[in-house]
Copies of this chain bind each other. A is one copy, B any other.
Amino acid sequence: MKPTIYDVAKEANVSIATVSKVLNNTGRISEKTKSKILQIMKELEYQPSSVATALTGKKTFTIGVLVPDIANPFFAEVARALENNAREMGYSIILCSTDYQLEREHDYLELLIKKQVDGIIIATEPKDLKKLRSLNDRNVPSVLFSIDHLAIDSHVVTTDDLKGGYLAGRYLIEKGHRDFVIITEPQRASGVLRVEGFKKALVDEGVDLEGVLVIEAKSKINEARKAANQILRLPKRPSAVFASTDLIAAIFINEVRKAGVSVPQDISIIGFDNTIHAEISDPGLTTIAQPIAKLASYTIEQLLDAIENPSIPPNRIMLAPTLIERESVRDLNK
């Protein structure tokens, strides 16, 4: 069996309290006793049970991460970055894919509470608002990652989507484009903001919004294909397309090529997220990069702050996205 603190204590001829003290580096113990105990721990391969520790009111050093779908490259990167930062701080992560379903979100939240996680990171568009709000009453600190929802009184760490859209719009205009189509995910707050920012850029540069078509497509292969083909069939083909995710953009490039239309010669495209799709697509996809690593480190920082001090008021941190220039946008000025 796994050795317990009693085994160590007995072996060392001391009380368990003494052993506990060397575990936590508290109280007074002579160097001699201490090293003896440490020695014995090694011999027995003793590992304190974090379950028992947690029961005494200490932390579980576990945080829950809610994502919609870990198989989506963006969220996979997010999970990776969060895990990395958490690990460095001594925390581990319980992974929860909600699959965009209210029920799963609900169940997972209950589960995380039951498991006494120290905090929860929500990277999925929240559906179960009631449950989420109840997190506060239950003193479970939470951080919204890359999403924002005024109805929830948590910390927020997100990309400035509005600005991201704006960057994309301004860039295309600088490159001489004037006719646009937007492909965006329906019912996603960040998608809405991206489009809004994009349009704002057009307005600021004096482009008429009337002619701008907005097509809705989820960030899934078949929907993205459909959207791409819809654009190809348009009577007046736009000179540039703004896709609200890289997956949509990458598929657009492929569909368009199949139709004998060339990117960026015949049509330009700009994506969002800077996932691996953007990097390996051909031509390389110009896109708006979310600063995932930074978002993750701020998120963990905020969460740990909130864990240490539950009463601090929720901050809303917005990090600037950056434009990554590759080869999918043609410069019409040249």
Contacts and interface: CB of A to CB of B under 8 A. Distances in A.
Interface stretch (A31-39, A77-85, A162-170, A191-199): A77-85
A138 interface: yes
Nearest to A60: B51
Q: Which 7 A-B pairs have the closest CB atoms?
A: A254-B282, A76-B76, A95-B95, A71-B80, A51-B54, A50-B114, A47-B114
A115 B50 contact: yes
Given A47-B110, A92-B94, 4 more contacts: A2-B138, A2-B139, A70-B70, A257-B282
A83 B49 CA distance: 24
B73 A116 contact: no
Copy total for this chain: 2
A48 interface: yes
Interface of A: 1-2, 45, 47-52, 54-55, 60, 62, 69-73, 76-77, 79-80, 83-84, 87, 92-97, 104, 110-111, 113-116, 134, 138-139, 221, 247, 250-251, 253-254, 257-258, 276-277, 279-282
B97 A49 contact: no
A282 B280 CA distance: 12
User: Which one of A2, A49, A76, A281 has the highest number of Cβ atoms from chain B below 10 Å of its Cβ?
Assistant: A76
